[in-house]
Amino acid sequence: MTNTTMPATGHPRGLYWLFAAEMWERFCYYGMRALLLLYLVKSLAMGDNMGFAVYGAYTALVYVMPVIGGRLADQILGSRIAVLLGGLLMALGEFMIVGGTELLLFWGMSVIIVGNGLFKPNISTMVGKLYPDGDNRKDSGFTIFYIGINLGALLATTVCAEVGNIYGPKYGFALAGIGMLLGILVFQLGSKHYAEVSAPPSPETLHKPKYGPLSPFTAVLVLCAALIPVLYFLLRNTTIAGYVLLAVAAYVIGSLIARGVKEGKVQLDKMFGFIILMLFNVVFWACFEQAGSSLTLFADRNVDRVIGGWEMGAATTQFFNPAYILIFGSIFSIMWIKLKNSGNDPSIPMKFGLGILQLGLGYLVILIAAPLAVEYQVPLWTLALLYMLHTTGELFLSPIGLSMVTKLVPKDMTGTAMGAWFLSIAGANYAAGMLAKLTGAEHGEGEAEVLDKAASLATYVDVYSNIGYVTVGIGLFLVLLSPLINKLFHGIR
């Protein structure tokens, strides 16, 4: 019996070590992300539109890199080494940002992007590989794993965000880096429980010269170092970053279809189903990811955040989403198992449609709250209810999507496919930055004069209600379309 086998009851032991490692990695990522836009707009005085563009490009590139990181793990490194290297780079990037200059911020973000690309897809892939094919506990396992993600995000959006709010952003960034180091330590301590599913494909040749004097491992290090200045350039030139996203998307979709053609009609159908849901995934996350951008500035300008004499930091309002995940995550995990056992489990496309529908309803909350505004500030429960609906929508879509990737593609392609899934989130984050500009409270190009609170609130109400109407419509459309898309999955649920 190996260390990766299932215990007599429950989930594989490795799941809980991966849960803890991912928790600290998300503490690192979301701690930095919570502070980023306010740091760009206030500390660096970039103005709303430039801040949205940089934020959107950064969060998009964070999710592009898993395409490369997944493939490097599949073909060279194996999941374990990729995760370790990625974690070290993320910590290094956070400590660079602590320097407090715009130059160090952009270089630090570039290093974090490379590290996240190695870490994020491969730890998720390892979770899927802990379970045998057809195991009904996989969806539940991914939901538990998703709770770990959001526990880290909750700590980040409370501890890191408030430390940054009270003592200054650089202290929040430093705390995020320390969290990543803890994640690396936890991952190493549990490595025996997932050793067999995380080994390099050819461990005997990993450190032997292959590309001239370079071993495959050294070649990966050189590639990572070369990518950092490229990413720095893209962060400085956000329009070009958008074109790069389109090019990478075309390549990845083409490779998925080519593999489907090679494998036969059934696999090709699965690939098309996967690609269709990737497109709907973009819609969901483009609207959802206003959390770190326009919704944070909305909280800063038009939300009453005073609770009993204490004023919550604007970045801290992002805590609602991970807090709700922790409240509802276990309930959803049990619910999916009970529905599956009773034969009433909704199809994957149906879950996606219902998730998008709930997201849209969240934005329509602003129509209820706006008439109750006092001095053009809406009550805090506006964000509490909005984020609750966003979170229940997320639980219908995100962990199910992660699990879906590991079910639909051949095992030797799981890292690449997971990278493709994160690529759809990358496109969504870039689109989120563009969407956020609709709320930009500036007069003219390049000016940072903020509109008065009355005009600001009117803009947010108009933009968010329109987002709500459109996404509700898209969600209902996908619900109606779900039986047709589900046929492409050939029985996979």
Residue 425 lies in a domain: yes
CATH assignment at residue 41: 1.20.1250.20
Q: Minimal CA–CA distance to 247: which of 481, 37, 427, 445?
A: 427
- Is residue 354 one of the residues assigned to a domain? yes
Does the residue 5 lie in any domain? Answer: no
Residue 349 domain flag: yes
CB 240 within 8 A of CB 234: yes
pTM: predicted TM-score of the whole model, two decimal places: 0.83
* Assigned domain for 7 exists: no
CB 442 within 8 A of CB 48: yes
Separation CA 25–CA 87 (nearest Å) = 7
Q: How confident is the prediction along the chain (493 residues), in pLDDT tens digits per residue?
A: 344 445 545 788 889 999 999 999 999 999 999 999 999 988 888 888 899 999 999 999 988 888 788 889 988 998 899 999 999 999 999 999 999 899 999 999 999 999 999 998 889 888 888 888 777 777 778 778 878 888 999 999 999 999 998 999 999 999 999 999 999 999 999 888 888 888 888 888 888 888 889 999 999 999 999 999 999 999 999 999 888 888 888 888 888 888 888 888 888 888 888 889 889 999 999 999 999 889 999 999 999 999 988 999 999 999 999 999 889 888 887 888 888 888 888 888 999 999 999 999 999 999 999 999 999 999 999 999 999 999 999 999 887 777 787 777 777 777 677 777 878 888 999 999 999 989 875 543 444 445 588 899 999 999 999 999 999 999 999 999 999 988 888 667 6
CB 347, CB 493: distance < 8 Å: yes
Q: What domain count does the chain have?
A: 1
Please indicate, yes or no, if residue 8 is contained in any of the structural domains: no
| Strands (E) located in 303-374 | 306-307, 310-311
Contact indicator for 62, 118 with CB cutoff of 8 Å: no
CB atoms within 10 A of CB 339: 13
d(CA 331, CA 173): 33
Q: Decide if 2 is inside a domain.
A: no
Residue 166's alpha-carbon distances to 233, 296, 312, in angstroms, are: 32, 17, 10
- Assigned token pair, 328: 């509802």
- Which among 119, 83, 101, 110 has a CA at the least distance from the CA of 225? 110
Range of the domain at 444: 13-487
In a domain, 3, yes or no: no
Can you spell out the DSSP letters for 58-100? Answer: HHHHHHHHHHHHHHHIIIII-HHHHHHHHHHHHHHHHHHHTT-
- Cβ burial, residue 342 (10 Å; 0-12/13-18/19+): exposed
